[in-house]
């Protein structure tokens, strides 16, 4: 899977970030799913305060699928935010379509990077 992240810090509270993300996800008609970010390998990774997969399809008649992973870490005086545009690639979508695969991350949907980046950038703007 290809990814293109934007990482930044902000003085906004986790609640303010959550509200802004909720609003933009509603505006762009995103489906959201919680991401469990616990460190399964026992390495010193901090669990995120917000971990969400936002995904959907554009409004075109042949909607283009997109996906963005969102992580927020409360670092005390500031919050670290990661917005990660996703691209599963043409091959995985072709294989799933050939074998009757459906839509949704659990069904192997292939997100398109250019569309994912547009949605990621809208989220970034909403958090400024």
One-character DSSP codes across 6-39: EEEEESS-HHHHHHHHHHHHHHTT-EEEE-----
Per-residue model confidence (pLDDT) at position 111: 84
Q: pLDDT tens, position by position, for the chain (128 residues)? A: 688 899 999 999 999 999 999 999 999 999 999 887 655 555 556 788 899 999 998 876 677 889 999 999 999 999 999 999 998 765 444 444 444 433 334 455 678 888 999 999 999 999 99
Largest CA distance in the chain: 50
Per-residue model confidence (pLDDT) at position 37: 60
Q: For residue 52, give the H/E element and its range.
A: strand 50-57
Task: Sort residue 53 into left (φ over 0), alpha (ψ -120 to 50) or beta.
Answer: beta
Q: With 0.95 as the threshold, say if the pTM is over it.
A: no
CATH of the domain at 70: 3.30.310
Number of folded domains that form the chain: 1
Other Cβ atoms less than 10 A from the Cβ of 4: the count is 14
Tell me how far apart the alpha carbons of residues 76 and 101 are, in angstroms, rounded to a whole number.
43
Q: Which domain holds residue 85?
A: 2-126
């Amino acid at each position: 899977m290809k990814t293109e992240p934007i990482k930044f810090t902000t003085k906004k509270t986790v609640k303010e970030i959550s509200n802004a993300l909720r609003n933009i996800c509603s505006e762009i008609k995103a489906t959201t799913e919680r991401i469990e970010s616990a460190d399964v390998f026992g390495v010193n990774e901090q669990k995120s305060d917000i971990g969400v997969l936002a995904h959907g399809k554009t409004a075109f008649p042949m909607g283009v699928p997109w996906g963005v992973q969102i992580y927020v870490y409360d670092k005390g005086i500031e919050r670290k935010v990661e917005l990660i545009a996703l691209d599963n690639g043409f091959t995985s979508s072709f294989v799933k379509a050939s074998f009757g695969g459906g839509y949704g991350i659990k069904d192997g949907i292939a997100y398109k990077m250019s569309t994912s980046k547009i949605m990621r950038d809208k989220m970034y703007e909403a958090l400024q």
